[in-house]
Structure 1
Amino acid sequence: MNDTITKFGYPATLIREYDHWVVLLRPAQVTLGSLIVAAKSEAQDFGDLSPDHFSELKTVTADVSSALEGLVSHEKLNWLMLMMVDPHVHFHLIPRYEGTREWMGQIFADGSWPGPPALGEAIKLSDDQISAMGTWLKSGFPT
């Protein structure tokens, strides 16, 4: 795995692994269900990924969308490809919704709805929360 994937807590944050991509729990939750979708590649430019990466990305996006719809009931999904600090190809996937969502007694607000997501206002999860939320998120993915 590349340095970007390990920086986001792999393997503890792993939700689903594909041949060319991983889906990770984002340890700092911008909104409930925030994920990282990262290419298993050393590529630092989206256009440098192999055709197999692009082909498989269709399956990854469908799985992620379905899982989050069932668990979070988002209204939109924001796929952000920032790659300013963490250089390898990856997306920050932020479920967007009006109001709040509750998970295990914790409130997750989308305070900037309907504007751009407020990445700096993320809730940092403890190791126990990462484990529990990871299990919860995995349950929403197709088998």
Structure 2
Amino acid sequence: MNATMEKFGWPATQVAQFAHWTVLARPAQPTLGALVLAAKSDATAFGDLPAEAHAELKIVTAAIEAALGRAVGYRRLNYLMLMMVDPHVHFHVIPRYEGAREWQGREFVDCGWPKVPDLGHAVALEGSDREELVQWLKGHFDQSDGSGASTRSA
């Protein structure tokens, strides 16, 4: 656990975890299903992560792509490693799609499509709405990823 994970709501926002990584529902959703993929390490440089963390990215990204494919039917998936304010190694995972997706009566429009994602335009979810989103996403991680392996949700 590190301060960056806490900033994004860990442990309440955790939808899946792996040996070196945790997957969090992003509290501000620029598109439906936006996640934070955070290293559990205190590393502040990508190259400082242990080799095992880099190797595990293959498993983690496959799980994310399968889960978000089921959840929102994205057209593209953007992994953004910004690390300007929050220093620990993490990616913002933004599902991209043309138009909008609806969830729980709310509309989530990809305002940046087909260009750079508009992170400033986001639906902020709090309280029970955020809890429902976390549970909904966990359900997609609990399903098989198509390779016969099950992803591990929190």
How far residue 111 of structure 1 moved from its aligned partner, in angstroms, is 1.2
Q: Which residue of 1 aligns with 2:41?
A: 41
Counterparts of residues 58-69 of structure 1 (less than 5 Å):
58-69=58-69
Q: Percent identity?
A: 54
Q: Please tell me whether residue 114 in structure 1 is matched to residue 103 in structure 2.
A: no
How far residue 59 of structure 1 moved from its aligned partner, in angstroms, is 0.4
Q: Give the superposed CA RMSD.
A: 0.6
How far residue 54 of structure 1 moved from its aligned partner, in angstroms, is 0.6
How far residue 17 of structure 1 moved from its aligned partner, in angstroms, is 1.0
Partner deviation per Cα, 1:96-129 (whole Å, 9 max, x = no partner): 0000000010000001100100001111102111
SS of structure 2 residue aligned to 1:47: helix
Counterparts of residues 1-143 of structure 1 (less than 5 Å):
1-141=1-141, 142=143, 143=150
Distance 1:14 1:112 in 2: 26
SS of structure 1 residue aligned to 2:79: strand
Partner deviation per Cα, 1:44-89 (whole Å, 9 max, x = no partner): 0000100010111110000000000011000000000000000000
Moved over 6 A (4+): none
Distance 1:120 1:106 in 2: 17
Distance 2:15 2:22 in 1: 8
Give TM-score, length-normalised by structure 2: 0.91
Give unpaired runs (5+ residues) of structure 2: 144-149
Distance 1:53 1:126 in 2: 31
Distance 1:94 1:110 in 2: 10
Distance 1:129 1:37 in 2: 21
Distance 1:11 1:71 in 2: 21
